[in-house]
Amino acid sequence: MHGVTGKPPGAAGDTSGIAAPKMMLLMLVAMTGVAPISLYMLVPALPVLATTFDRDISVAQMTVSLYMVGIACSQIIMGPLSDRFGRRPVLLGGLGLMVAASAACIFAETLPQLIAARFLQALGGASGMVISRAIVRDLYSRDRIGSMISLVIAVMMIAQMLSPLTGGLLETAFGWRAIFYLMTAASLTITVAIAFMLPETRRERAAGSSFRRDVGNLVTSRAFIGYALCQVLASQIIFTFAGGGPYIVVTQMGRSSAEYGAWFATTGFAYLVGNLFCVRFAPRHSLERLIWFGLALQVGGSLLNLIWSLTGINQAPSILFGTQMIVMLANAFVMSNSVAGAISVRPEAAGTAAGAMGFLQQGVGALVSQFGAYLGGHSTTTLPLTSAIFVISLLCASTMLFIVPRRKTIVSEEMIEKVEEEEQGML
């Protein structure tokens, strides 16, 4: 985990107290994962909540749907605040809100109270998702950001995959309130750890800097727009497939929901492997090269699935999901490195950039998942869904091709001298 600097250029205050690399990774994983893990941990208990409060399951589902709204709102709010007031105070404030809201969930007497507390829980907890990206940008060089984000995602996904199982076991053994006891304890532990071990990492703000100026600089930057669109479009492949997949497997293919869950887990595993490969290759390849590799593989995999649909081959889950695993492996390269490129355009506004991307990803994803469900539920073949994924893959590649400016490397005297010294050393 090389590449972390003891004091980022222009950082506010002394960062000599930056935690050791392994501890820093652990804190980044914890602050990134606390909100999504809390989201999935409650899912197995939804039928019990509906029965306990004597409400329809659709009302109980709001503890999840409004939680996702809270995540989206948090990112567009907490990101700019961290640029203005610093990473540390905003992160501590957000996680403190999550601790209080998690405790409120324990003592909720009605379902509306629980839903409101869950929204506040997401609003505070998701601050870690956006601010962790900004912290990575503060501490690491541009070409190391993608690998660090991939490493954080890879470790977090392992915990996230286990969270529904953990929630189900807790509910079965101790009741649904035990889930919130664990959430409260976990969020409190993370908050205390950050308070004692994470110093301020934000760069010094230039005179006259403001939220309006940060936004203006970002929306007028072709590089930011291109990288952000690339990341958001790549994420929509996941939402589209997740929305339409259940209808195709259960309704069209006549398989059980449990079998669908098992097949869908293979795409999550492929995404995890993709992030691990990204960590492995990032030190030796540029950010742009990794994105293009991912885009080529992503378009190729989605085209292959489209061909299987046209020929009727992928009417079996093994073909459909086997090919989609290629797309998801490539998707990891595209998403993590696109984020790295976007938040590196204006390092002083990394929080605002990360927040805008997170908000768009969640907001657009909510609509696209519904679109995917429509395609899967109103057709008799996989063709509409695979066509949509192929089109999104092409649009994703187009943002890099037509919007993101080409980076030009100018050979300097220093670079020539460095190469000559390396050649002499080798001789």
3-state DSSP call for residue 203? strand
The C-alpha atoms of residue 187 and residue 92 are separated, in whole angstroms, by 11
Bridge-partner residues for 11, per DSSP?
A: 203
pLDDT tens-digit readout, 216-239: 888 889 999 999 999 999 999 988
3-state DSSP call for residue 310? helix
The stretch 264-281 carries a mean pLDDT of 87
Instruction: Out of 21-25, 194-198, 203-207, give the one with best mean pLDDT.
Output: 194-198
The C-alpha atoms of residue 218 and residue 207 are separated, in whole angstroms, by 18
pLDDT over 70 (residue 409): no
Domains 21-202 and 215-402 agree in fold: yes
**Confidence at residue 407, expressed as pLDDT on a 0 to 100 scale:** 63
The answer to whether 186 and 29 have CB atoms below 8 angstroms apart is no
**Confidence at residue 419, expressed as pLDDT on a 0 to 100 scale:** 39
Q: Give me the residue spans of the domains in the chain.
A: 21-202, 215-402
The C-alpha atoms of residue 28 and residue 22 are separated, in whole angstroms, by 10
3-state DSSP call for residue 202? coil
The C-alpha atoms of residue 162 and residue 147 are separated, in whole angstroms, by 23
The greatest distance separating any two alpha carbons of the chain, rounded to the nearest whole angstrom, comes to 79
pLDDT over 70 (residue 391): yes
**Confidence at residue 377, expressed as pLDDT on a 0 to 100 scale:** 80
> Lowest-pLDDT range, 84-93, 155-164, 196-205, 292-301?
155-164
User: What one-character DSSP code corresponds to residue 162?
Assistant: H
Phi-psi region of 19 (alpha: psi -120 to 50; beta: other; left: phi over 0): beta
Confidence of residue 7 (pLDDT cuts 50, 70, 90): very low
Confidence of residue 400 (pLDDT cuts 50, 70, 90): very high
3-state DSSP call for residue 11? strand
Class of domain 215-402: mainly alpha
Percent share of the chain, pLDDT over 90: 35
Class of domain 21-202: mainly alpha
Q: Which two tokens stand for residue 188?
A: 């409190």
The stretch 175-201 carries a mean pLDDT of 92
Bridge-partner residues for 203, per DSSP?
A: 11
Confidence of residue 213 (pLDDT cuts 50, 70, 90): confident
Please work out, in degrees rounded to the nearest 5, the angle formed at the alpha carbon of residue 285 by the alpha carbons of 280 and 287.
100
> Which tops the pLDDT comparison, 75 or 300?
300
Q: Global pTM?
A: 0.77
Q: Which two tokens stand for residue 299?
A: 């378009």
The C-alpha atoms of residue 297 and residue 270 are separated, in whole angstroms, by 13
